[in-house]
Structure 1
Amino acid sequence: MFFVNEPMARMNFFYGLAMPFEIVPCCYYGTDNEYWFGRLQYAAFSCNWPDQDRTFKRKMMLFVERSVKRSTAVAGGMLRVNVDTFFATLKMAYSLFTIIIRMR
C-alpha cells in the first residue's frame, strides 16, 4: 500500500480490506445461529418435561419435531449466510483475480 503511487490503486486496496470486514460479522452470526438452532431440541428435552401435564408434553413434542428441521439464513433466496459461503466467495474472488492477472 505504501509503495503505490496511483490513488485508484490505494482505493482498491482499502476496498479489498473493507468488504471482508463488512461481510464477516453477518456470516459469523449466521453460522452461530445455525449452530444454536441445531441444539434447540436438546435444550428442550433438558427441561423438566416428565413431570408436566399432557398438553405440555404434546406441545413439547410438536416443538421438538419442528426444531429438528434445519434452519439457515438465506440471502436473496440463493446463498446461505454462513462462514463457509464467505470463504467460498473469497476463494472464487482470488481465482478470478489470478485469471485476470495471467491474461495481462
Structure 2
Amino acid sequence: MVAMCFQLTLYCWFGNEVTLKAAELPLCIWQSEWIEADNDFKKSMILTMMRAKKPLYLTVGNFAPLTLSTFIVIIKGSYSFFTVIKSTGE
C-alpha cells in the first residue's frame, strides 16, 4: 500500500513540475537575448510564446491531469472509500 501511494506521489509530483516549468517558458523566452537575434528567431519566439499560453499537463489517459491537486483528490477519495468499507464490515 505504501509503495503504491509512493508511486502515485512520484507521478503526480513530476507531472506537476512539468506543468509549472511549462508555465515559466514564455518568461524565459522573453528574458533571452532576443533583441540581437534575426527576424526568423523573433517570429519563432512569438509563435512559441503564443502556444505556451495554453497550460501543458501530463494526463492519465486523457482522464485527469497529473498534478498535486489530483493526488489529493485521489487520496481523499480512497480514504473515504476505505472508511465506508470499514464501517459496513463491522
- The two structures have a TM-score, normalised by structure 1, of 0.80
Distance 2:26 2:44 in 1: 13
Structure 1 stretches lacking a partner, 5+ long:
1-15
Could you say which structure has the greater relative contact order, defined with CA pairs below 8 angstroms and 6 or more residues apart? 2
Divergent runs of 4+, >2 A? none
In the other structure, the counterpart of 1:44 is 29
Partner of 1:23: 8
Structure 2, gaps ≥5 residues long: none
Aligned CA-pair RMSD: 1.1
1:76 aligns with 2:65: no
Rounded to whole Å, the distance in 1 between the matches of 2:35 and 2:78 is 53
Partner of 2:82: 97
- Percent sequence identity over matched residues? 26
- The total of aligned residue pairs comes to 89
So what's the TM-score if we normalise by structure 2?
0.91
Provide the rounded CA distance (Å) in 1 between the counterparts of 2:7 and 2:59. Answer: 17
The structure whose Rg is larger is: 1
